[in-house]
Amino acid sequence: MNAPLRPLNVPQRAAEPPVAGGIAASFNAVRRDFGAKRVLDGIDLQIEAGQFIAIVGKSGCGKSTLLRLLAGLDQPSGGSITSDGKPLEGLTRIMFQEPRLLPWQRVLANVEVGLPPEVRGEQRHERALAALAQVGLADRAGEWPSVLSGGQKQRVALARALISGPQILALDEPLGALDALTRIEMQRLVERIWREQGFTTVLVTHDVSEAVALADRIILIDDGRIALDLDVPLPRPRRRGNADSARLEGLILERLLGS
């Protein structure tokens, strides 16, 4: 794994950006129990291919559990999660709240973690460098993760999630711990890459304005059920703080706090 670190001004041509396109996903009467507690109670949700969907809700409403089921980190107690009738296996990549980089591997090797083992040798480095370039960190390939800032670490984690060309990207509040400015930068980065590659994106967040800024559609989960399913018909690129998004935010917040 100790990849010999190559000079960083290597042309990034050979590493083909994996074309994804995204697939649909559907939750069919999905339940999840932890002991006697029912965390998800009959979730029916159709996510269209290439859609950017945000899931909001209070802490403990089950939104992270939903995402973990989608990513295959957990199994439903009842119901199923499919894509065009077939099970979803290995097509989803998850990005966590924390960067979860391996501290003992350099940035480049950390990105290579996202590659399937079939990709070998030089190809690995080239694709990892291309993925790093995509998040604007190609010049940090040789660093240890410990010297990066929080936002940079999350960008490396994003490169790691994207390098295999996932069909679905599951984001578990990955921007929650960042400061406000870095957060907006990261939102723009995620949006840009999503528009270039067109994978289906499911973002779990507690930040309603983030959901309104990014998503095509917002799902509000309350007490294990879908309480609100809302399209966000705002044109892109979106400007923050305009009247339409403020109105939508207000609507969702009212529903979140009111119930």
Binding site for other proteins (CB under 8 A): 1, 71-73, 90, 93-94, 96, 98, 100, 102-106, 113-114, 116-117, 144, 146-147, 160
Least distance between other proteins and beta carbon 160 (Å): 7
Q: How far is the CB of 193 from other proteins (least distance, A)?
A: 18
Q: How far is the CB of 233 from other proteins (least distance, A)?
A: 33
Q: Are β-strands 78-83 and 168-172 bridged in parallel, bridged antiparallel, or unpaired? A: unpaired
Give the nearer residue to other proteins in terms of CB position, either 168 or 218: 168
Q: How far is CA 169 from CA 96, 205, 242, 251, in A?
A: 11, 14, 28, 27
Helix and strand numbers (H, E) in the chain are 7, 10
- 157 vs 208 by CB, closer to other proteins: 157
> What angle separates helix 150-162 from helix 180-197, to the nearest 10 degrees?
10
Q: How far is the CB of 143 from other proteins (least distance, A)?
A: 10
Residue 3 and residue 170: Cα distance in Å, rounded? 28
Helix 121-134 vs helix 150-162: crossing angle, to nearest 10:
130
Cβ nearer to other proteins, comparing 25 with 211? 25
Decide whether 71 or 137 has the Cβ nearer to other proteins.
Answer: 71
